[in-house]
Amino acid sequence: MAVTFSDLHTESGLKSLNDFLTGKSYISGDKLTKDDIKVYAAVSKNPGDSFPNVSQWYNCVSSHLAASFPGKAVGVSLAGKANPAQSAEAKSPAADDDDDDLDLFGDETEEDKKAAEEREAAKKSAKKKESGKSSVLMDVKPWDDETDMKQLEEAVRSVEMPGLLWGASKLVAVGYGIKKLQIMLTIVDDLVSVDTLIEEYLTVEPRNEYIQSCDIVAFNKI
């Protein structure tokens, strides 16, 4: 059943609201809803002891809004509003009904639906987990003992891409005077493929001048 409140800036309107709130904490149901916010916006200020039910409800809604808007308000006043009596004389009955009546159960507009969909999409986006990361230990092998290992390492570290972070490294003896580069790297799984890194970046020109092959020694999820 639709509920309508009129002239909430007048004593008669406040009395009607006060009677409606007898035995109730909120306009609709037992929790704060947008119905309370609509009516709250139409009541210019706390009417005090003259209308105790309205006063108690007004303070309750104010406390909810204060929690949602913790910033310190300095207070504002709205000027230029016509005297209610003069305004009533100037307006037609139809216009008066449109401006003063609050239909608490009006149909949801397209704008409301769109805003609700955007809020839901934002919630889902916020719930998405951050992409996983992995720690990788890689062996990078030179062609022979004459390969400049310093230039080999520089060639490896010159590979840059989103989600790739090179870490510590060391030279490990293989035999016959040959050493290999053992290097740590951290990758974002959704952004970097180790296979692609090796096949399309490290073992192709110009880096294959120093790098013969690469092997994954360890691969661990972080």
Q: What percent of the chain has pLDDT over 90?
A: 43
Count of domains in the chain?
A: 2
Q: Which of 31-35, 76-80, 160-164 has the lowest mean pLDDT?
A: 76-80
CATH classification of the domain holding 184: 3.30.70.60
Domain that holds residue 214: 133-221
Q: End of a domain among 47, 68, 89?
A: 68
Which amino acid would we find at residue 156? V
Q: What percent of the chain has pLDDT over 70?
A: 77
- Does residue 140 sit in the same domain as residue 213? yes
User: What pLDDT does residue 103 have?
Assistant: 53
Instruction: Decide which of 153 and 41 is more confident.
Output: 153
User: What pLDDT does residue 120 have?
Assistant: 80
Q: End of a domain among 36, 68, 100?
A: 68
User: What pLDDT does residue 144 have?
Assistant: 94
Instruction: Decide which of 113 and 218 is more confident.
Output: 218
User: What pLDDT does residue 155 have?
Assistant: 96
What six digits make up the tokens of 121? Answer: 């999409």
